[in-house]
Amino acid sequence: MVRGHRVMCGDHFVPREVGVRNGKIAAIEPLGAGLQGARVVELAEDETLLPGLVDTHVHVNEPGRTEWEGFATATRAAAAGGVTTIVDMPLNSVPATVNTAALEYKRLFAQQNAFVDIGFWGGAVPGNKSDLRPLHDDGVFGFKCFLLHSGVDEFPHLEADEMEEALAEIKTFDSLLIVHAEDSRTIDKAPQPKGNVYENFLKSRPRGAENIAIAEVIERTRWTGARSHILHLSSSDAIPMIRSAKNDGLDITVETCPHYLTLLSEEIPDGATAFKCCPPVREVSNREKLWEGLIDGTIDYIVSDHSPSTLDLKDLGNGDFGVAWGGVSSLQLGLSLIWTEARRRGVGLERVVRWMSTRPAERVGLRGKGKLSLGYDADMAVFAADESYVVDAQRLNHKNPITPDQGKVLSGKVRRTFVGGHEVDYETPTGRLLSRGQA
């Protein structure tokens, strides 16, 4: 049983007692009701009880590239950041999760190393159309595809017509296609990203590449009537057409990430390849429009796109943006990053939680996640909203100590995390493997 003066119930923070039984929230009563429990947790005056965050875009990379990341390190990082559920991407593990055998193999590695609950995406690649329904039946939450080279050869991309075929197929069993939307031809014709100057890398991934690809996703979603989702929106130019598609009644959603909402291309030093990600961090004017799209509801939610690699692959010695792996490690920092920026803008913590917990849970069908509500999983984060700290990559829980937020002062610290009513101790994994329809 948890007692506190600030417990998030709906969109409000109120004094409450929260009773937990068998991993579920069994009672929520006014503070002072006198609920009894085998264990009682009393929140400090400066602590707020939040629903655990739900991060539906995490690259764990195990098996096959466990030197990049792994389930034990990734889920410890998640828990330390108040994230109690992740959904793992079908790449960059080897084999990629493009058939049921690969899914079962991945689950073998995850089941003994889960400090938070874990779900899985399947992959949609050329030639695996017949594997989509079996993967769905085996519990994946949807399917990811790329519209350009994915960065790893074992996960090839779809052309737009192939994406349409995948959309038509998954519509027959009401699944969800999530799309890395950048147009390969636009990028092929852009300048090559050689050297240590960030501006050159930015020119190699122009906004137009995203805009064209997102237009394809919208129209193919319209033609098929399927459900789709645009990953890691970076280009604010695409917001009006996404808004128009939603107004037309298309079942389409979009996410963005902490790095696009907090970092600025103008402030990235030469050679600072920790900042490289695809699509890229863009200019301050672009960032401001992303925030506008988030606040007006066009952008649905925020996820990490935690995409780690070894330090060698980041080419730290040379700082060559054309060579370095494109991915940001931020799984542990997302809540603090967004809260720091949101409070500066006068945006309340309740909206941050909606963007980082409630809405992603709803979109992917995690029916027992994303709220502190009766019958929901007892996934909770104890958050000290006014506590500040300095980011130190060496003290983060993900495997390779690198982050573009090194040295940044952030507001808001997760002090304790509970998954299914169990407090995460970072030694004994108690997370579950989740399947669609059973989560």
Mean pLDDT of 153-162: 98
- At 390, the pLDDT band (50, 70, 90 cuts) reads very high
End-to-end distance of the chain based on CA atoms, in angstroms?
Answer: 23
**pLDDT at residue 437, as a whole number:** 79
Per-residue pLDDT for 284 more than 80?
Answer: yes
Mean pLDDT of 421-430: 97
Nearest-angstrom CA–CA distance, 208 and 429: 44
Mean pLDDT of 109-123: 98
**pLDDT at residue 253, as a whole number:** 98
The neighbouring-strand residues paired with 41 are 2
**pLDDT at residue 438, as a whole number:** 73
Q: What angle do CA 7, 330, 45 make, to 5 degrees?
A: 25
The sign one gets for the Cα dihedral 8, 76, 301, 295 is: positive
Helix (H, G, I), strand (E, B) or coil at 120: strand
Residues present in the chain in total: 439
Mean pLDDT of 59-81: 98
Residues 6+ apart with CB under 8 A from 83: 52, 53, 54, 55, 116, 304, 331, 334, 335
The pTM is what?
Answer: 0.98
**pLDDT at residue 439, as a whole number:** 60
Question: What is the CB neighbour count within 10 angstroms for residue 372?
Answer: 23
Per-residue pLDDT for 295 more than 90?
Answer: yes
Q: Would you say 59 and 97 are in contact if contact means Cβ atoms under 8 Å apart? A: no
Q: What percent of the chain has pLDDT over 90?
A: 99
Mean pLDDT of 388-396: 98
Q: Would you say 98 and 134 are in contact if contact means Cβ atoms under 8 Å apart? A: no
Closest-CA residue to 359 (of 421, 279, 297): 297
Q: Would you say 69 and 397 are in contact if contact means Cβ atoms under 8 Å apart? A: no
| Mean pLDDT, all residues of the chain | 97
In eight-state DSSP terms, residue 356 is I
**pLDDT at residue 120, as a whole number:** 98
Residues 6+ apart with CB under 8 A from 60: 69, 70, 71, 74, 86, 88, 89, 93, 110, 118
Q: What angle do CA 269, 182, 333 make, to 5 degrees?
A: 50
Compute the half-sphere exposure of residue 357: CA atoms within 13 Å on the CB side of its CA: 30
Residue with tokens 């949807």: 142
Nearest-angstrom CA–CA distance, 119 and 395: 26
Per-residue pLDDT for 42 more than 80?
Answer: yes
Per-residue pLDDT for 428 more than 80?
Answer: yes
Per-residue pLDDT for 31 more than 80?
Answer: yes
Mean pLDDT of 376-398: 98
Per-residue pLDDT for 230 more than 80?
Answer: yes
Q: Give the dihedral of Cα atoms 400, 401, 402, 406; nearest 10 deg.
A: 160
Per-residue pLDDT for 272 more than 90?
Answer: yes
Q: Would you say 426 and 79 are in contact if contact means Cβ atoms under 8 Å apart? A: yes
Q: Write out pLDDT tens, residues 352-363.
A: 999 999 999 999
Mean pLDDT of 210-219: 98
Mean pLDDT of 237-243: 98
